[in-house]
Structure 1
Amino acid sequence: MLSFRMLAPALIALALCGTGPASAQSFTDTQRGDIEVIVRNYLIAHPEVLEEAMNELSKRQAAAEAAKHEAAITQNADTIFNSPRGVTLGNKDGDVTFVEFFDYNCGYCKRAMTDMLDLMKSDPKLKVVLKEFPVLSQGSIEAAQVAVAARMQDASGKKYLDFHQKLLGGRGQADKARALAAAKDAGFDMARIEKDMASPEAKATIEENFKLAESMGMNGTPSYVIGKQVVVGAIGLDGLKEKISAARCGKATC
């Protein structure tokens, strides 16, 4: 909770605004004390000012964060939306691209996968890009390596999606063994999977995704890029639909 002691320096500065540096410095301790009393009494009489100030601060911080995200997206747009190291699903020529950064051991990602599948079914104009972002454990890294190897032998993304659902939708912690089992169930060439998961391409893919996430301030999963917006955290199907509509037509619903 904010206290007067915390706010006093800023409020005093506002009270002195326009007097100029030289005259402001000429105030005596007694005069400054009198100003503090005036400001304190005003705030006690009008406490709604504090709420208004904090709301305005929150708006400015949110606007600054959004501008930072937009700049990062613009700077890295081709890699975010069109990198061959991402898995592309849905409409490859869609009018909106929905990019998800995920971890195979993220509980929220398991629920978010259902949202993604629902979006793909209901929105034929949506392009979906999946990016492995293994931040939770060594097992997550191992699973991501297998996932990249699966992508490397499946240009269509259809078998990858089957693998993705089997692994992310399964019970227990994802690791190399579980990921290999899911790849086998999805019908992949396992000898090639073993080879490709240790390849420079697998390492480069994960490094690329981490670099992108860092540039956009992502610190958890799932995280999304939708249009010019960065969304961190699972916001549910309705929330995602609103973000997609905003990217498509500038409104919550088109």
Structure 2
Amino acid sequence: MVSLRSFAPLAFALAICAAPVASEAQNFSSGQRSEIEKIIKEYLLANPEILEDVSAELTKRQTAAEAEKHRAAVAKNADTIFNSPRGVVLGNKNGDVNFVEFFDYNCGYCKKAMSDMLDLMKADPKLRVTLKEFPVLGPGSVEAAQVAVAVRMQDPTGKKYLDFHQKLLGGRGQADKARALAVAKEVGVDMAKLEKDMVSPEVAATLNESFKLAEAMGLNGTPSYVIGKDVVVGAVGLDGLTKKISEARCGKETC
């Protein structure tokens, strides 16, 4: 519910700003200010629907400003976001739209998001998908991500990584080092090499890269995406992702 009291200061400020001469507005007497407040209050009480319009317009402007801020961050970090060798590239590696997902193996919403991603890859042969580990949900998530990075290090094609990714993220229970190692063994990676790679500087560098990108773009949860030039935060669903991909491709929700 919108509070009239919360909008009164805003309306008063607007009235002051709308005065013909700003310097004169600053010199209103307390009586004049009280009269202006009375007029505004009476008008808003008679026309409360205007508050919904004001709120909607404020939200619209804030959303647009946030989107521009995100686009600037994407442009500044584009090479690392889209071309870093530390990301796992799936789908069409020469695709016309970049779809980058930041995920956590203990994120419940990421499980559904994985299904959306797989559906998108099947339906859209021109989509270039990149996965980036972003373990924000505790020590178990960090451990699982470390194993995942080590899997990526011995799988340049991404096929074995995707198998690992689906089994670990799609499985039940908490993801941690033990579970991640069990899944890695199940998909057939070289376990001796995996153990060695897990303590290499590359693992820490990969996760640090993801966190720096997330900080630059203002991401604080999973799943989060970069689709084309835009940032999408949260599990927006298959339809929402499809629309953003179309916007990146042709500027419209449906190409």
Q: TM-score range by the shorter chain?
A: over 0.9
After TM superposition, the structure 1 stretch with the greater mean CA deviation from structure 2, 43-52 or 13-22, is 13-22
Moved more, 43-52 or 171-180: 43-52
Q: Give the TM-score normalised by the residue count of structure 1.
A: 0.96
Q: Equivalent residues in 2 for 1:58-77 (5 A)?
A: 58-77=59-78
Aligned to 1:155: 156
Partners of 1:194 and 1:118 in 2: CA distance: 33
3-state SS in 1 of match to 2:212 = helix
1:199 paired to 2:166: no
Superposition deviation, residue 15 in structure 1: 2.0
Q: Tell me the equivalent position of 1:11.
A: 11
Query: Is the counterpart of residue 84 in structure 1 residue 103 in structure 2?
Result: no
1:33 matched to 2:37? The reply is no
- Tell me how far 1:77 sits from its aligned partner: 0.5
Aligned-residue RMSD, C-alpha: 1.3
Equivalent residue number for residue 185 of structure 1: 186
Q: Report deviation, 1:5.
A: 3.8
Q: Contact 2:227/2:245 (CA < 8 Å) preserved in 1? A: yes
**Counterparts of 1:137 and 1:127, CA distance in 2:** 29
Q: Which runs of 4+ in 1 moved over 6 A?
A: none
Q: CA offset at residue 4 of structure 1?
A: 4.0
Gaps spanning 5+ residues in structure 1: where? none
Work out the CA distance in 2 between the residues paired with 1:169 and 1:2: 41
Tell me which amino acid in the other structure corresponds to 1:149.
A
CA–CA separation in structure 1 for the residues paired with 2:185 and 2:168? 11
Q: CA deviation at 1:122?
A: 1.2
2: CA distance between counterparts of 1:93 and 1:37? 63
How far off is 1:52 after superposition? 1.2
Deviation at 1:11, TM superposition (A): 2.1
8 Å Cα contact 2:95-2:126 kept in structure 1: yes
**Contact conserved, 2:102 with 2:133, CA < 8 A, in 1?**
yes
Contact 2:7–2:51 at 8 Å: present in 1 too?
Answer: no
Q: TM-score, normalised by structure 2?
A: 0.96
* Residue 2 of structure 1: how far off its partner (Å): 4.5
**Further displaced range: 68-77 or 39-48:** 39-48
Q: Structure 2 counterpart of 1:167, which letter?
A: L
**Equivalents in 1 of 2:2, 2:236: separation in Å?**
29
Match for 2:161: what amino acid? Y
Alpha-carbon distance between aligned partners in 2 of 1:21 and 1:169, rounded to the nearest angstrom: 61
Alignment partners' CA distance in 1, 2:183 and 2:19: 68
Give the number of equivalent residue pairs: 254
How much does 1:166 deviate?
A: 1.2
Structure 1 CA distance for aligned equivalents of residues 157 and 222 of structure 2: 25
Report the CA distance between 1:7 and its aligned residue: 2.7
